[in-house]
């Protein structure tokens, strides 16, 4: 819903230029890839958890790695889900005042919210990368793989959200509006 309002309001403020159509197509394509990956992770998560529960209660030897793999998949699912929600404009943000605003003010406030989210993402991407790097020295107990596979979900998800924010800003308005919002 919020994404549709943002597209309607930005479409009424901007002429249909090549940059707007390119960023819209890029955002839709990347959004479809991230959504498909998240959907596959949901299916994999269900399969791993189901196999773990079945082997724990049906067979005398449970799968010791199922809980560990489920935790890794869940973190990736959470980060990709956050990126999907951010792209759709369904991520957490203050909507009480924005809901009563007119279309022009709503479009401006959407740019402000996107700039604020982008600033936060830029601030946390380096610590997330450092954390993922530090986890490369740790091996998971059951799967015996590098813990980077789990920790890499954080910088990847942050970068995806930042990319969606930049694409939204490139599509949303002119440079003057962006500077005023920033």
Residue 179's pLDDT is 74
Residues in the chain: 182
Condensed to tens digits (0 to 9), the pLDDT of residues 158-178 reads: 999 999 999 988 887 667 777
Residue 113's pLDDT is 85
Q: Which residues of the chain have pLDDT under 50?
A: 1-14
Residue 27's pLDDT is 94
Q: What is the DSSP string of 91-148?
A: SS---HHHHTS-HHHHHHHHHHHHHHHHHHHHHHHHHHHHHHHHGGG-B-TTT--BTH
Q: Are 131 and 147 in contact (CB under 8 A)?
A: no
Residue 94's pLDDT is 62
Residue 173's pLDDT is 64
**Domain spans, the chain:** 20-181
């Amino acid at each position: 819903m919020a994404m549709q309002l943002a597209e309607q309001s930005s479409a009424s403020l901007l002429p249909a230029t090549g940059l707007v159509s390119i960023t819209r197509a890029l955002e839709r394509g990347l959004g479809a890839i991230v959504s498909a990956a998240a959907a596959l992770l949901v299916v994999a998560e269900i399969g791993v958890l189901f196999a773990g529960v079945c082997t724990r209660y049906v067979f005398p030897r449970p799968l010791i790695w199922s809980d560990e793999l489920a935790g890794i998949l869940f973190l990736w699912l959470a980060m990709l889900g956050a990126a999907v929600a951010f792209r759709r404009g369904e991520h957490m943000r203050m909507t009480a005042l924005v809901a009563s605003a007119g279309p022009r003010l709503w479009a401006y406030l959407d740019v402000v919210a996107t700039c604020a989210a982008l600033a936060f993402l830029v601030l946390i991407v380096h610590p997330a990368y450092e954390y993922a790097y530090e986890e490369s020295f740790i091996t998971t107990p059951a799967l015996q793989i590098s813990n980077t596979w789990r920790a890499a979900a954080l910088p990847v998800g942050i970068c995806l959200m930042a990319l969606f924010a930049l694409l939204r800003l490139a599509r949303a308005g002119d440079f003057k509006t962006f500077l005023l919002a920033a």
